[in-house]
């Protein structure tokens, strides 16, 4: 079992029994058994049937890891006011910070 973070509180056996009873009583939940897994099909087969090929293609596109890394991960420290200003601009703030630094490089010669 992995190490737990400090402060994690496990349910008591009584609470655990109540939770399991609630799950068993809910008609929308069930245990996934071997028969369920035997019938399961990959999303790449099911999604085109459900949503059409075009939508399925967009849903199945790989995400996350860059195919050809164009950026490098670094650790850097910024002042709180700079970070809060960029974060306040919402999602994509790191990209905007990158654009601001790139713009600065266009107007200043690196020392």
The pLDDT assigned to 1 comes to 58
Task: Write a three-state SS string for 56-73.
Answer: HHHHCCCCCCCCCCCCCC
Q: Taking a C-beta distance cutoff of 8 angstroms, is the pair 42, 56 a contact?
A: no
Distance CA 26, CA 65 (A): 38
Q: Taking a C-beta distance cutoff of 8 angstroms, is the pair 50, 59 a contact?
A: no
Residue, of 111 and 58, whose pLDDT is higher:
58
Q: Where are the domains of the chain?
A: 13-59, 74-111
pLDDT (average), residues 18-47: 92
> Using one digit for the tens of pLDDT, what is the confidence trace for 45-91?
999 999 999 999 888 887 777 677 778 888 999 999 999 999 999 99
């Amino acid at each position: 079992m992995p190490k737990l973070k400090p402060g994690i509180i496990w349910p008591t056996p009584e609470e655990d029994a109540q939770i399991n009873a609630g799950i068993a009583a809910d008609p929308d939940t069930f245990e996934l058994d071997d028969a369920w897994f035997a019938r399961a099909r990959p999303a790449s087969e099911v999604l085109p049937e459900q949503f059409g090929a075009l939508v399925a293609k967009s849903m199945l596109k790989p995400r996350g890891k860059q195919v050809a890394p164009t950026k490098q991960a670094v650790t850097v420290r910024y002042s709180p006011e700079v970070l809060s200003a960029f974060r306040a601009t919402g999602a994509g703030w790191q990209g905007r910070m990158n654009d601001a630094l790139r713009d600065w490089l266009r107007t200043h010669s690196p020392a």
